[in-house]
Amino acid sequence: MTGFLDHLLNGLALGAVYALVALGFVVIFKASGVLNFAHGSLLLLGGYLTAVLHDDLGFVGALAAAVVVTALVAGAMDRLLLRGGDRDPRAAHVQTIVTIGVDIVLVTDLARRIGGDLLTTGDPWGDSVTRLGSVTVADSRLAAIAVSAVVIGAVFALFRYTAWGLSLRAASEDLEAAALMGVRLTRVRMLAWCLAGALAALAAVFLAAFPAPGLERTTGQIALKAFPAAILGGMASPPGALAGSLLIGLTEALVAGYQSELHVLGEGFGDVAPYAVMVLVLLVRPTGLFGAKGAVRV
């Protein structure tokens, strides 16, 4: 018997993982104005690396290696985008499409390597569960909530207390002014991409953990659900992305949980519910729940 509290906890866990991904989108968007469509492939790369390395390095070692390598790959991606020159006012649009090309190459390669297999990441939680009163919850979900909370807290601290965080805010407000103030935009950008890559790799481990069957070639597509989360938050607001992610995670878990009551909406509506929520919110607030920038100026 699963009840409301179970769905709530599941939704929270899901939302916490989406938040890791959505924060990555937001950081990249703030630093470079680019919407990173290659985020799913970064996520898949992180998961894949953890999966193939954990026999030799152990889970923690493999995860650490995966996080570092994915961060570097993300940083390299940023370098690649900047080759296109950033003088053109439409450069951010162009770079956004370039990330689609990068995604196609990376996903094709990873999917070819993974094939039809289900990879395990060797995570320590396995299929064990914890009982909290009447609620039963997978340990992996609890771990997802705990780890995400710590990491997100750390990222917020980075935004607030480091020089990089300050530069990032300056850059997202006015690129030209930030450059004039001596902010080294390329470095701010690069670090943002690396951070986003690291977060994506971390998220992959939780997305592949129980009760999911493992890492599949399609796991990366989950990143697409973090898009609505980021947009709901206004795209340039980290707290907004966090709130949006929780909203999306809860919606998905609740709709999936009450599937039988909601059967008019069709089987598997939980998977697409985030998009329905996004449309509804954007209808009321075209710039997202927390969006102020880019508000209708005319």
Partner 1 sequence: MSDLLKRGRLLPLVLLLAALPFYVDAFWLRIGLFAMAAAIGAVGLGLLAGTAGQLSLGHAFFLAVGAYGYAWLAGEPGPGLPPALALVLAVLLAGAAGGLFSPLAGRVKGIYLGVATLALVFLGHHVLLTADSVTGGFNGRSVPPLTLGGFTFADTDPELVVLGVPFGAEERLWYLGLALFALTWVTARGILRGRPGRALVAVRDSETAAAVMGVDVARYRSAAFVVSSMYAGLAGALLALGFRRIVPDYFGLALSVDYLAMIVIGGLGSVAGATAGAVFVTALPLLMTRYADHLPLVAAPGSTGGAVGPTEAARYLYGAAIVLILLYAPDGLHGLARRLRARVPGRRAKAAPATAPTAAPARPKEHTP
CA dihedral (276, 280, 286, 290) positive or negative: negative
Q: How far is the CB of 286 from partner 1 (least distance, A)?
A: 4
Contacts of residue 80, Cβ cutoff 8 Å, sequence gap at least 6: 98, 102
Phi-psi region of 237 (alpha: psi -120 to 50; beta: other; left: phi over 0): beta
Q: Which is nearer to partner 1, 154 or 180 (CB)?
A: 180
| Residue 271 is a binding residue for partner 1 (CB under 8 A) | yes
Binding mask 204-243 for partner 1 (x = CB under 8 A): --------------------x--xx-xx---x--------
Residue list 62-81, contact with partner 1 (CB under 8 A): 80-81
Q: How many residues bind partner 1 (CB under 8 A)?
A: 53
Q: Is 294 in the site for partner 1 (CB under 8 A)?
A: yes
| Least distance from partner 1 to the Cβ atom of residue 291, Å | 8
d(Cα 261, Cα 276) in Å, to the nearest integer?
18
We find the least distance from the C-beta atom of residue 283 to partner 1, in angstroms, to be 6
Q: Is 180 in the site for partner 1 (CB under 8 A)?
A: no
Instruction: Determine which residue in the list 100, 149, 177, 292 makes contact with partner 1, applying CB under 8 A.
Output: 100
Report the nearest approach of partner 1 to the CB of residue 238 (Å).
17
| Distance in angstroms (rounded) separating the CA atoms of residues 224 and 6 | 25
Q: Does 8 bind partner 1 (CB under 8 A)?
A: no
- Applying CB under 8 A, does 126 fall inside the site for partner 1? no
Among the listed ranges 120-128, 154-162, 165-173, 278-286, the one in contact with partner 1 (CB under 8 A) is: 278-286
Q: Which residues bind partner 1 (CB under 8 A)?
A: 35, 80-81, 83-85, 87-90, 92-94, 96-98, 100-106, 108-109, 112-113, 115, 224, 227-228, 230-231, 235, 265-269, 271-272, 275-276, 278-279, 282-283, 286-287, 294, 296-298
